[in-house]
Amino acid sequence: MKAIVYTSNTGFTARYARLLGEKAALPVYGLKEAKKALAPQTEIIYLGWLQAGQITGLRQAVRRYRISILCAVGLAPAVETQLRELRKRYQAAYPQLFYLQGGLKMEKLRGPQKWIMKIVCKSLHKQIEEKKELSEADRDTLLLLEKGGDRVDPSALEAILHDLHQTRQAE
């Protein structure tokens, strides 16, 4: 593994990428900047923010690099339903697949992203409120949807570091 490459819109994915870079002693590049710094087919860890269920920047990244570990950063907590959807879409091509909760910064969103997110927030809010019983994760998601917030958790990187350690041992 040679580097970490990421795409971030409001900064949460960038923070996870930098934290991971520090912990794994790997250089960290945004996707555009990586083009100058890394040769094609370099083996990387790719992190991208989730946009309507898709990992942003992945298509460009996979055209240029070998992605060994793939990580999505979204707004929802890492509940099983979220992970199941991601696995359906990505796990066949990327068996080392992870999900991290980032957060929501409405004030940093512009134009269509802002209004899409407002609609998404309303509909998620309604879905959660209709549940008979709310879990702690549900309550926290309601708070995040109402007020925005930062849920970056450095300890959530441990699972990725564990996988990385095993990948390095096999190299």
Ligand X SMILES: Cc1cc2nc3c(=O)[nH]c(=O)nc-3n(C[C@H](O)[C@H](O)[C@H](O)COP(=O)(O)O)c2cc1C
Q: Which residues form the interface with ligand X (CB under 6 A)?
A: 8-14, 49-53, 73-76, 102-104, 109, 113, 116-117
Specify the 3-state DSSP secondary structure of 124.
helix
Return the number of the residue (107 or 171) whose C-beta is nearest ligand X: 107
Return the number of the residue (69 or 117) whose C-beta is nearest ligand X: 117
Residue 91 Cβ vs ligand X, minimum distance, rounded to whole Å: 17
Measured distance CA(41)–CA(31) in Å, rounded: 14
Residue 31 Cβ vs ligand X, minimum distance, rounded to whole Å: 12
Residue 95 Cβ vs ligand X, minimum distance, rounded to whole Å: 21
Residue 169 Cβ vs ligand X, minimum distance, rounded to whole Å: 30
Handedness of CA 83, 87, 91, 94 (dihedral sign): negative
Return the number of the residue (42 or 51) whose C-beta is nearest ligand X: 51
Are residues 91 and 71 in contact, defined by beta-carbon separation less than 8 angstroms? no
Burial of 111 (0-12, 13-18, 19+ CB in 10 A): exposed
Return the number of the residue (13 or 68) whose C-beta is nearest ligand X: 13
Sole residue written with tokens 């996988």: 163
- For residue 15, how many other CB atoms are within 10 A of its CB? 18
Residue 114 Cβ vs ligand X, minimum distance, rounded to whole Å: 8
Structure letter (DSSP) for residue 38: S
Return the number of the residue (6 or 94) whose C-beta is nearest ligand X: 6
DSSP string of 10-27, one letter each residue = SSHHHHHHHHHHHHHT--
